[in-house]
Amino acid sequence: MRIPPGISLLLIGSGLYWILSSQLISSFTVFSPGLFETLPAGQKLITVVGTISLTSGLWTVSIDIDEFRRLATIRNGYVFILPIVFVALDMYSTLINLSLNSRTAELNPLVASIIQYGPGAVAPFLVSYIALSQGLALFMLRIGAWLFERPRALRILPFAVVCSASSFGSLSNLLGLVLGYHTLLVYLIAITGSMALGSVILRVVRGAIALSLLTTQ
């Protein structure tokens, strides 16, 4: 059975994330930092799981690379690169905001720890973030094909929703730099903008030849 596109990148992104998490917050998730800190082999367990996930993803990553290359080179293929763009914008706008505003604090404990360690930790986290985002986007294209046989136009809907959600972080960060984070207006505008962007993506891909190519595998 052929592995669906997106799974390999999700494994790679998760693996890198868990390896970083084992060293920085001793947990699989930021919702419970330090969860394995008191266990003698807790950090090693997370590292081993992350290494297995990373290795498994690298073993079959050619599937995702080929699918991404195919989508990026068809009509309106730039749309399928947007998850990477949003990840980079989110990460760098966060770093810029933290450097410009000393009163702003990063609430994500993993990201806060990574920033303290400098570029050596930021680079693998960015790679992890990109792999997770692009892998999820590719997988959502397949989910759309499974869920919506008719009408065909709805097959792109899960991908558009993922792009819309992933754009919220970068939009809110950029608006926060201009308007400040002390008003709900920033988040209301970011939510509206994300929803509008998802609608535009849906229309762009639906009106292109690309839609008929999404399920040719």
Per-residue pLDDT of 15-50, as tens digits, reads: 999 888 888 887 777 667 766 777 767 788 888 999
58 falls within a domain: yes
Instruction: Measure the N-to-C terminal CA separation of the chain; round to a whole number of Å.
Output: 13
The answer to whether position 2 is within a domain reads no
Residues 67-84 pLDDT 10s: 899 888 877 778 889 989
Which is more confidently placed, 90 or 121?
A: 90
How large is the average pLDDT for residues 96-115? Answer: 72
Mean pLDDT of 84-105: 79
pLDDT higher than threshold 80 for residue 51? yes
pLDDT confidence bin for 107, thresholds 50/70/90:
low
Residue at 1 is within a domain: no
> What integer pLDDT is reported at residue 127 of this predicted model?
92
pTM for this predicted structure: 0.83
pLDDT of 116-167, one tens digit each?
777 777 888 899 999 999 999 999 988 888 887 766 667 788 888 888 988 8
> What's the Cα-to-Cα distance from 86 to each of 25, 45, 79, 141, 162, rounded to whole Å?
25, 32, 11, 18, 11
Average model confidence (pLDDT) across the chain: 81
Per the CB < 8 A criterion, the answer to whether 108 and 95 are in contact is no
Inside any domain, residue 16 = yes
**Residue 33 resides in a domain:** yes
Based on the structure, what is the number of domains in the chain? 1
Confidence tier at 195 by pLDDT (50, 70, 90):
very high
In this prediction, residue 135 carries a pLDDT of 94
The number of CA neighbours under 13 Å toward the Cβ of 109 is: 15
Residue 209 — very low, low, confident or very high, per pLDDT cuts 50/70/90?
very low
The residue range of the domain holding 195 is: 7-213
For 70, what's the count of Cα atoms within 13 Å in the CB-facing half-sphere?
A: 17
Tokens of 96: 């810029």
Cis bond upstream, residue 151 (ω within 30): yes
Q: Residue 24: inside a domain, yes or no?
A: yes
Residue 217: pLDDT band (50, 70, 90) is very low
With respect to residue 202, please indicate whether it lies within any of the assigned structural domains: yes
So what's the pLDDT on residue 48? 92
